Amino acid sequence: MALRKLEKQQWHAYFDGVSKTLGGKQAEVEVDSLQIGAQIEAEWLPLLGIVYDHKSDIIEVLLEGLDHLIQKPQDVYVDQEGLALTSMEVVDADDVRQIIRLRDPLMLPPP
């Protein structure tokens, strides 16, 4: 797969596009940091949406039964081959990495 960094001005539109095409995809959320190691926060729950709120500087990952908030995101990386999205990684201001993996690749609409 091809890992690429999204520029901050792309986040809102990119996550809106992802959220519109989810259609019941299941996701796993892993949180990695030097302080806690690797922790699974959500294991294969239906992914309902992902949004970036630039006013609050928060990325919200909404899963069934869980609202995962990422404060002050610094970098967003997507693992995407063509239109098939398999995972996303968000690095916050404390260098904590939040990895959102999709069980099956999500086919995004053409740009």
Which domain, by its residues, includes 14? 3-87
Which two tokens mark 28?
Answer: 């796993």
When the pLDDT of each residue in the chain is averaged and rounded to a whole number, the result is 93
Q: Cβ distance 33 to 95 under 8 Å?
A: yes
Residue 30's pLDDT is what?
97
State pLDDT tens for residues 6-53: 999 999 999 999 999 987 799 999 999 988 899 999 999 999 999 999
Q: How far apart are CA 58 and CA 13, in angstroms?
A: 14
CB-based contacts of 75: which residues, under 8 Å, 6+ apart?
5, 89, 90, 91
Residue 93 lies in a domain: no
Residue 24 lies in a domain: yes
Of residues 107 and 52, more confidence is placed in 52
Number of structural domains, the chain? 1
Whether residue 1 is predicted with pLDDT greater than 90 in this model: the reply is: no
Residue 51's pLDDT is what?
97
Whether residue 83 is predicted with pLDDT greater than 90 in this model: the reply is: no
Integer-rounded Cα radius of gyration of the chain: 13
